[in-house]
Amino acid sequence: MGARFAKWRAVIGLGERLPSLACIDANAHALARYAALCQEAGLVPIVEPEVLMEGDHTMAQCAEATETMLRAVFAQLVVQGVALEAMILKPNMVLPGLASPEQPTAAKVAEATVRVLRRVVPAEVPGIAFLSGGQSGQLASARLNAMNSPVASASVTAPWTLTFSYARAIQQPALQIWAGKDANRPEAQRALLHRAICNRAARRGQYSPDMEANVR
């Protein structure tokens, strides 16, 4: 039917005694088995272990859970015989919970995220496409840009392509403008295009908050 890739998403909540090791192991196995089945069928698997933003956890707690989850996932990918050079990883960024008072800069998020990834993601993986996970459109762009910015490259240099696979951070502004009304369609389409342009720039390390004033 023309499909070239497929995705399996596992969501990992943070909280008291969460995530459990049983939860991590079960989800890591499911992600890896699905990836192996995709490759058997000639599809590129997108492996998506997502540590959720809901809650008041700190960025350090998110980093610990993300690293633990990714270690388990890649151990299972090896067991299942997945060709790492023929898959895409779609993880969360390392962020504090939405209810946390902690508000790190984009540079801090970039540094913490790439530090975790460098510890556990093999260089054979060709690309990492981040999910937005509840971030605003502007924050998602700014944080991705910080990972790709030449200015920050000394601290966050990565062996993989770092890009985006955002849904809410691209679609939500347009959906809010559209509100189901045909009259709002052109403005909503411009908003959608604007977010796509901003994220293309962030992928290249060329995004600037000044771009947000240029939407028409």
In a domain, 12, yes or no: yes
| Domain range for 45 | 5-168
pLDDT of the residue at 213: 80
Any domain includes 156: yes
Q: Is 180 exposed, middle or buried (0-12, 13-18, 19+ CB in 10 A)?
A: exposed
Q: Is residue 183 part of a domain?
A: no
Among candidate residues 90, 111, 187, 212, the one labeled active-site is: 90
Q: Is residue 120 part of a domain?
A: yes
Against a cut of 0.75, is the pTM above it?
yes
Q: Within a domain: residue 159?
A: yes
- C-alpha to C-alpha distance for 113 and 37, rounded to whole angstroms: 29
What digits encode the pLDDT tens for the residues 57-99?
999 999 999 999 999 999 999 999 999 999 999 999 999 999 9
Banded model confidence at residue 46, pLDDT cuts 50, 70, 90 = very high
Give the pLDDT confidence score for residue 154 in this predicted structure.
45
Q: Of these residues, 7, 16, 40, 48, which one is catalytic?
A: 48
Q: How many domains does the chain have?
A: 1
Q: Supply the CATH number for residue 50's domain.
A: 3.20.20.70
pLDDT tens for 153-208 read 544 567 899 999 998 899 999 999 999 999 999 999 999 999 999 999 999 999 99
* Catalytic residue list contains 90: yes
What is the pLDDT, as a whole number, of residue 214?
A: 61
- Can 48 be counted among the known catalytic residues? yes
Look at the chain and count its residues: 216
What are the percentages of helix, strand and coil residues in the chain, rounded to 5?
Answer: 55, 15, 35
- Structural domain contains residue 80: yes
